[in-house]
Structure 1
Amino acid sequence: MAVDRQDFERAVAAYWGVKNTQNEKSTLKGAVGAGTAGKVRGGQHFDPIAELLRQFFLDAKFPVGSIRVKVSDRLELPGFYRASKRWDVVVTYEETLVAAFELKALGGPSFGNNFNNRVEEALGSAVDVRRARLAELYPGERPWLGYFFIMEDAPGSRYPVALDQGAFPIPDVWLADCCSATGGKPCGLPNRKKLHGKSYQERFGIFCERLVEEQLYDAACFVTSSAEDPTPKELFPKLDWQHFSAAIAGRIAYLQGLGIPKTEAS
């Protein structure tokens, strides 16, 4: 059965269920404190999303062993600027990297602590594979990269973020409407000595759009959600589940037209 919208929403809800369960276990064991650290360090919280993506390729008759979703499956891919890097879902067939997915998240209460890390991770992973392709480390069809991101929907991710004025002006695209209207000068919001930038939700959406526009990733899905209300919110139309799933289906159809994977008839 083809993956549908309900499958997607169930997977996002399951993501929060796994995170909360891991946090409770971590707190009971005293291994880490409550909060984001406890939830993230447990791992496996993206398993429902990984299984959702895996289903696309199972439906397309890719061999089960070619679809890697667990660390034990060997998820490392060679790079140009480093020996290798572990991705979250990897699909291979003979010499072709059919698809590789990064699955990432950002939660509160302090969204700013890891925001830049997530940006740098996404850029570094994609650039490394793209350059490795030029070095003929992926001799089959051009590698296809997907990026899936969940940001916790909370006041800290929705509200404008204060920005310091640096040596050069900050482009308007990153500024809240009030500061953009004043030509990049502090506006009337609290803390008037600082510029007010777009929220973390808005900023990450712009970032993901540019990842695809610059062809660093072939498709990106960016949603906001929370444990209290797990229904995914898609703030950027081109980054919604419909576009993301259509891009995956398009990749599969392209390869099928080239006889990948080989069928019994071929």
Structure 2
Amino acid sequence: MRRAYEHGLLGPLRPWLGYVLLLEEAAGSTRKGRTRSGTLPVDPVFVDTSYLDRYAILCKRLMSAGLYDATCLVTSSREPEAPIRQPDPEIGFAAFVGAIAAHIEQVGVLRPGLN
């Protein structure tokens, strides 16, 4: 999408891109574990972390690299009564929705005929 926009294929309005990740909150995803080294070296930030930690790092990196305007990481359990959790407010649902609202407001200001 970004490349298409940069090449003028999507019109004048830059697309807003978001990434939402729902992770099952279970022992396998929240337990810190050993990171295996395969063909490529392991980024030191991932050593001794859980999958949940790694996904949070991924979401933040996707935003800081400018690949997405906002990311959202939430967890849910198989237990029906367990709440949906937002492990990090910076990449939680409220921040994601706030980023969408800010973009809509900005587009409305830039293109007054849209509101």
Residues 259 and 165 of structure 1: is their aligned pair in 2 closer, same or farther, counting only changes over 3 Å? closer
Asked whether the 8 Å contact 1:145–1:217 carries over to 2, the reply is yes
Please list the CA deviations of residues 153-189 of structure 1 after superposition, one character each: whole Å capped at 9, or x if unmatched. 111111123332346642220011xxxxxxxxxxxxx
Task: Determine the C-alpha separation between the residues in 1 that align with 2:64 and 2:9.
Answer: 24
What residue identity is the alignment partner of 1:151?
L
Partner of 1:144: 16
Partner of 1:212: 63
Task: Determine the C-alpha separation between the residues in 2 that align with 1:164 and 1:170.
Answer: 8
Asked whether the 8 Å contact 2:76–2:83 carries over to 1, the reply is yes
Q: Which of structures 1 and 2 has the bigger CA Rg? A: 1
Partner of 2:33: 161
Structure 1: 5+ residue runs without aligned partners? 1-128, 177-197
Matched positions, count: 114
Partner of 1:247: 99
Higher relative contact order (CA closer than 8 Å, sequence separation 6+): 2
Q: Could you tell me the TM-score, scaled by structure 1's length?
A: 0.40
Structure 2 residue 5 is the aligned partner of structure 1 residue 133: yes
Percent identity, please: 36
Task: Determine the C-alpha separation between the residues in 1 that align with 2:56 and 2:72.
Answer: 9
Task: Determine the C-alpha separation between the residues in 2 that align with 1:211 and 1:165.
Answer: 22
- The CA RMSD measured in Å over matched residues stands at 1.8
Partner-residue secondary structure (3-state), 1:222: strand
Which has a greater percent of strand? 1
Task: Determine the C-alpha separation between the residues in 1 that align with 2:34 and 2:98.
Answer: 37
Partner of 2:83: 231
What residue identity is the alignment partner of 1:254?
Q
